[in-house]
Amino acid sequence: MVALPDGHPQGPKWVVHETTAADGYAEAHYDAAGIRRVPVLDLVQWQHAPVSNNALGPDDVLLVTGGGKGIAAECALDLARTTGVRLALVGRSHPETDRDLKANLERLSALGVTFRYLSADASDPESIRAVVNEAEAALGSITAALHAAASNVPQLIGALDAEAFTRTLLPKVTGLENVLAAVNPDRLRLLVTFGSLIARTGLRGEADYGVANEWLRGIVERWKDQHPACRCLQLDWSVWSGAGMGERLGRLDLLMQQGITPIPIEEGLRILRELLKRNLPVTSLVVAGRFGDPPTLSFDRKELPFLRFLEKIRVHTPGVELIAEAELSLESDPYLNDHIFDGERLLPGVMGLEAMAQVARPLHHCRGSECFEDVVFRQPIVIPEGRSVKIRIAALVDEGGSCRVVIRSDETGFQVDHFEATCRVGQLDGGSRTHDGAGIAPLDPARDLYGKILFQSGRFQRLRGYHCLRAKECVAEIAPANSSEWFWRYLPGDLVLGDAGARDTAIHAIQACIPQALLLPIGVERIVTSPLPDSCALFAHAREREATVDTFVYDVDIAAADGRVVEQWRGLQLRRMRDVDVTGAFAAPLLGPYLERRVAQLIPEWNASVVVEPDRRLRTEMQRPDGKPEAAREGWHVSAAHCGGLRLAVAGPAQVSCDAEDVAARARELWRDLLGVDGFALAELIAAQKTGNFDLAATHVWTASECLTKAGAPPGSPLTLVQCSDNGGVLMASAARRIASFESPKAPIRVFAFLFCR
């Protein structure tokens, strides 16, 4: 197709040039200066356009041609209800003989809309002039017009004759010309015309209808040039579901089979309302769902980046939607061998985030910090050995500019959103230093964590140690990457989010805070990140926000060595997958978080920290004459104990104390002397309710008594049994004090006791 200025002497030359150069469908527009332009679709950010101060209101009269039935009638009714505008509806049908028209008019009356229905043929200028005069006499001056009159009888171009062609043109083209000739142009401040996407894409059997809508657009654009005070809007709609020509012609199913997604009535009405509220930078708009990739219509597409997860592009509508696929296997994605959980190679959540970022970025044009919200890791993606798995990453931009992204897999027939998130441009909240330069805790991750409570290896095994480790807080140091090779050497290797191994390490470092359970991430409220470097050490500071029996929620900051926060996770949810056989295999620093969580199970008010370390460090804490350590923090209480080469300490804002003792066999008479009559009786009661091991029960009572003494309780303060738990815990009480004690399940059997005073 070649569009030329009327009578231009170079016109024939341009046509010959375009015809000989074309390969398939081509379209070119020349202006009077000979400048050649090719039409392309570009996304209009209409949601951000300024709101018009000249919107429809109760003082307006809207003339609607073709307004008795179909989408025009639905739009007119919606505008009347939402703006109060008065309606002058014009159509060829008569309510006496047309049941659908009669029903629509009854709806208008029932809703209290002010309207007149006038029967006329839009292609007859005298008839249109008459109904305009009649409408203005009844309703007032016409200030707006919505032209939707149309005729469409699909037929192949070989069967199309001049009479049929003219019959299609009359209501659309001649009808609009007649309306504009009949109304007062000085009073008309809004002109809306309903065209069709077919004018842009073409459709089998719709050549005449496509031309009619193309010419309609030309009339609107000329009117806009001649009447700049009149807001003009030409809407080339795709097919609607539930109303309109597609429904009437029975072509909706066929169009959907061709990949055309119809517009629901409510969505179409909402879009029209929003468009009329805003001052738009353009006159002509296409409003459509998916409509495939027709050869007659081009987008202003920029070249997509060369990235791993953009392996195959299935759908790309710039600024709106991008669907890509990638084939994953152990050969193409060797990092999968470093992420084996219970014998299954799982796509790591951090690589899922990377895949979502690679697909979302071309849509929302992120150049700085990336923000993920409402992240859900719903179902693992498993890549079996010797087979490949195809994942499909689908991203769709909403009206607010956010991009919703999901990852699906052919293992579930692309019917499950395994991972999902909302992506947008973000900004870090700022933050403080994540570590204080203190020495690393006496814990060797390679020896004490990996292969025991951490399953990661290779690229994801980067945990160097802890500067702080508590049940509800930790500061972990992450080593630089040993290798930056994530994919097969012939695949693009860039990661837009930076070091995925460091990101995964920051998450699984929290595992040491809950060493008795194996955890996997299931969701995150919000992540803000800039590309993580892989050449330097990083520090992850994690703080527990809340916890239930099976779910733990943490906030995490990842920072550089200078304390500058480079990534933030808010509301990271970790779910208990299964329990771990614990105490006997634990390194000493892991006992602190484990014991602290066990105390909280028996004493919900517990708000103190527990630390366990090998008892070989030089003790530099200040001590009182009775041996109790002085608290370094004003208003806090501290207590310490030493047993079997371990140093146990507890600190908190309430009165606390602790003790630890190896279980040893002693004569019952000796126990009676140590515990006293009441303590001995209490030990007998605990032994009866537990395993029958009196030495173990007596050690529970002994450590509880020691806790009372350290807490300053008067000598001989009574102890009573509150409960014996199923997992080896005993809860005792003395006035307002509660003492929880626990035994280790493996030799040497040891009892740890903790006192808390509310």
Could you state, in chain order, the average pLDDT of each consecutive group of 10 residues for the chain (758 residues)? 86 87 84 88 78 87 93 95 96 92 94 95 94 96 95 83 88 95 96 89 81 92 94 92 54 56 90 91 88 75 90 90 96 96 96 96 76 96 95 91 94 96 80 52 89 93 94 95 88 94 97 94 94 93 94 96 93 94 73 92 92 67 52 76 90 93 94 94 93 91 95 90 87 95 81 90
Q: Angle at CA 655, nearest 5°, toward 598 and 473?
A: 45
Strand order in the sheet with 609-614: 609-614, 646-652, 637-643
Q: Which two tokens stand for residue 647?
A: 């140093």
Q: Angle at CA 483, nearest 5°, toward 482 and 485?
A: 165
Instruction: Annotate 25-68 with DSSP letters as a single string.
Output: S--EEE-TT--EE---B----GGGSPBPSS---TT-EEEEET-S
What is the predicted pLDDT for the residue at 259? 59
Query: 3-state class of 422 per DSSP?
Result: strand
Question: Which parts of 204-361 are beta strand (E)?
Answer: 231-237, 240-241, 263-264, 284-287, 312-317, 321-328, 340-341, 344-345
Domains within the chain, CATH numbers bracketed = 2-37 (no CATH), 57-287 (3.40.50.720), 312-425 (3.10.129.10), 445-589 (3.10.129.120), 601-757 (3.90.470)
What is the predicted pLDDT for the residue at 584? 56
Helical (H) or strand (E) element with 454: none
Reported residue count of the chain is 758
What is the predicted pLDDT for the residue at 280? 87
Instruction: Give CA–CA dist 469/11, Å, rounded.
Output: 79
* CA within 13 Å, CB half, 476: 31
Do 389 and 329 touch, CB atoms closer than 8 A?
A: yes
Q: Angle at CA 326, nearest 5°, toward 341 and 383?
A: 20
Dihedral angle computed from the Cα positions of residues 198, 364, 309 and 510, in that order, rounded to the nearest 10 degrees: -140
Strand order in the sheet with 2-3: 2-3, 28-30, 36-37
